Amino acid sequence: MKIQVRDVPPRSVWALQQGGIHPLLAQLYAARGVHSMDELDDGLARLLPPASLLGASAAARLLADAMAAGKRICVVADYDCDGATACAVALRGLKLLGAQHVSYLVPDRVIDGYGLTAPIAERVKASGADLLVTVDNGIASLDGVARAKALGMQVLVTDHHLPALKGGLVVLPDADVIVNPNQPGCGFESKALAGVGVMFYVLLALRAELRQRGVFDASQQPKLDTLLPLVALGTVADVVKLDANNRRLVAQGLRRIRAGALPAGLASLFTAAGRLAPVATTFDFGFALGPRINAAGRLADMTLGIECLLTDDAARADELAKLLDSINRERRDIEAGMREQAQLAADAMIDEDEEPPPAIAIFEPDFHEGVVGIVASRIKDKLHRPTFVFAASQAPGKEHELKGSGRSIPGFHLRDALDLVAKRCPGVLLRFGGHAMAAGCTIAEENFEAFEQALQQVAHEWLDAATLTRRLDTDGPLAPEYRRADLVDTLHKEVWGQGFAAPTFSEEVEVVSQRLVGEKHLALKLKHQGQPVDGIWFGHTEALPTRVTLAFRLDADEWQGVRRVRFLVEAAEV
């Protein structure tokens, strides 16, 4: 691990401080590319305009026409938290705007696989739908969209994933309208918009269209800001880059949650997770609520997660949140066993005193396909290598197939790597898709070794020693006057996440004493710039030297009514 300090442009710090920003926050913002006060304005008026999102206005006209004609609309969701929140936003928003006939369908991870498939299109048609709307999927569903069109349905695709490639060229589905910031020709500035964000933008455009048609005027129009808590949750949980536009969406959602203006299901999820909505943070989204919703899609049926987000009945919400919590506990147990097996398999690839291979691919027959993505992420974090973890398909008639989920490191575009593997080894990849940092694929079991070798060859060509060295960007030393519990609270209230990392400080400290707690965590007594402070390194058991450079985040704990700062250690550089 190499700990490095972010550059801090002094002019940006000065400009932010002149605008009234706290000196510490000014330093942190400047190091993350914020140069002016305008960029910190999280007001709704500062959101990018819906008209700038290609297809949003056309989607609004399509939906407005369907609503006026009394057509039946069916939303086809995805089985992760982004897809679940996007589905809930779609149903709640469409009903708020006057739609009378709205339903949804969420694919089964095992039986249906990812995206809008031809069989799903047939099920939507059988439900009586006239207009099929995808959320968080559909951009690569060429066959599913074609089947829906052949059945006489109109199709609106709302998605944020990268389009499909054929022969190195982008191929789009033949939908009536596509709304996706990552489609060719879209000039929308926030390419990192999550699936739930895309659907929220479509609703903003629809409201403007209905206003123009005279359905309601500006003083009477429905308030779509009630959907922002769901938009914020889905955006953070999907680990998309928190650019300025996404930060505004998340900040607005957090503001409403802290004020108590949140759906019953979210309130119940906070309770089930042991978190407090009045002091909600982005960490709650990413590490408490998001995983509980995701667990439904991984091990059970994402309908449970969507129903939790849709219900306005507090008792029903509590019941569903408790069920999601129990499923998440089961997921953690399964993951722990799989992670141990995967780590043993990864260790077997590494000779003593040698580096791991440039890419990792792991398959065990008893792995659960719903958890392979999480395990891939854990192995990637530990070894700092692009990692794919595979499980045998549980779909009827597909037992010979392996479903894999991959996670990558900076400098290795995972979806592009899969595309190159597909070109070099025709037939090895049955299906694939995804992003730069996360992707999925399906292969025949007999082709596992061929896939592993092809992936490692691409990684060998694309990755150099510098890229394969794990680096942790930090904010450098913490001034002693900022080691205060009230400043910890100030930092926690801000919007942090992917691409806008939470503050991590680094400097040399003295280790006064250390001991193991719970057999797997290192509790520390430290001296930071001559002053005592407690520290803890979760999941670390190796002893530290007396003087060591630590990377740490700030936290506050309470003992006998007194709140004290403690350091949450992230890494050490001896």
Question: What tens digit of pLDDT does each residue of 464-515 get?
Answer: 998 999 899 999 999 999 999 999 999 999 999 999 999 999 999 999 999 9
pLDDT value of residue 112 = 87
Q: Specify the pTM.
A: 0.93
Low-confidence ranges of the chain (pLDDT < 50): none
What are the angstrom distances between the C-alpha of 270 and each of 258, 279, 294, 328, 338?
11, 11, 15, 14, 28
DSSP secondary structure letter of residue 225: G
What are the angstrom distances between the C-alpha of 14 and each of 29, 37, 42, 547?
11, 11, 20, 34
Phi-psi domain of 483 (left: phi exceeds 0; alpha: psi -120 through 50; beta: other)? beta
Alpha-carbon gap, residue 266 to 232, rounded angstroms: 11
Reduce the DSSP state of residue 145 to 3 states and report it: helix
pLDDT value of residue 352 = 62
Alpha-carbon gap, residue 411 to 405, rounded angstroms: 18
Closest by Cα among 185, 275, 269 to 230: 269
Axis-axis angle for helices 264-272, 228-237 (nearest 10): 50
Neighbouring CB atoms inside 10 A of 516's CB total: 12
What are the angstrom distances between the C-alpha of 168 and each of 160, 409, 411, 418, 457?
19, 23, 20, 12, 19
- Please name the residues in contact with 559: beta carbons below 8 A apart, sequence gap of 6 or more: none
Reduce the DSSP state of residue 484 to 3 states and report it: coil
Domains of the chain with bracketed CATH: 49-220 (3.90.1640.30), 349-468 (3.10.310.30), 475-573 (2.40.50.460)
Chain-centre distance for alpha carbon 9? 29
Average pLDDT, rounded, for the chain: 95
Closest by Cα among 399, 443, 393, 401 to 421: 443
Query: By the 8 A CB rule, do 482 and 24 touch?
Result: yes
- Please name the residues in contact with 537: beta carbons below 8 A apart, sequence gap of 6 or more: 521, 522, 524, 568, 569, 572
